[in-house]
């Protein structure tokens, strides 16, 4: 199942910078692990914001929920999820 996930990160200005750097490093490591597994298929930055738009390929809604809530920066995220399905005119066979 494909999902578009929009993530806006909102970290309090008074949050400890060292803890925040550690969280960002952990987030990057987890993202790269999921990307290598093919689960986090695409990620794009939103210009001028601490936000991204991503495409996830998961087996179920529950799996996506568990992945998102397990992200190190999740407590600071506002997340919007949209389910996607293959467009009949797509030339790409892997758009399932």
CATH of the domain at 25: 3.30.70.1060
Buried b or exposed e, range 47-76, using 16+ CB within 10 angstroms: eeeebbebebbbeeeeebeebbeebbbeeb
Query: Is residue 95, in this structure, part of any structural domain at all?
Result: no
* pTM summary value: 0.90
Q: pLDDT at position 19, please? A: 97
Query: Is residue 94, in this structure, part of any structural domain at all?
Result: no
Query: Is residue 77, in this structure, part of any structural domain at all?
Result: yes
Query: Is residue 90, in this structure, part of any structural domain at all?
Result: no
Query: Is residue 89, in this structure, part of any structural domain at all?
Result: no
Q: Which domain holds residue 73?
A: 2-84
Domain count, the chain: 1
Q: pLDDT at position 90, please? A: 81
Query: Is residue 7, in this structure, part of any structural domain at all?
Result: yes
Query: Is residue 31, in this structure, part of any structural domain at all?
Result: yes
Q: pLDDT at position 89, please? A: 85
R_g of the chain, CA atoms, integer Å: 15
**What pLDDT digit, counting tens, does each position of 34-90 carry?**
999 999 999 999 999 999 999 999 999 999 999 999 999 999 999 999 999 888 888
């Amino acid at each position: 199942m494909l999902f578009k996930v929009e993530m806006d990160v909102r970290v309090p200005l008074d949050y400890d910078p060292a803890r925040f750097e550690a969280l960002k490093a952990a987030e990057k490591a987890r993202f790269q692990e999921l990307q290598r597994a093919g689960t986090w298929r695409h990620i794009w930055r939103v210009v001028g914001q601490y936000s991204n738009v991503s495409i996830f390929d998961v087996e179920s809604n529950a799996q996506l929920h568990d992945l998102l809530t397990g992200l190190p920066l999740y407590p600071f995220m506002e997340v919007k999820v949209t389910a996607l399905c293959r467009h009949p005119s797509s030339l790409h066979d892997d758009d399932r």
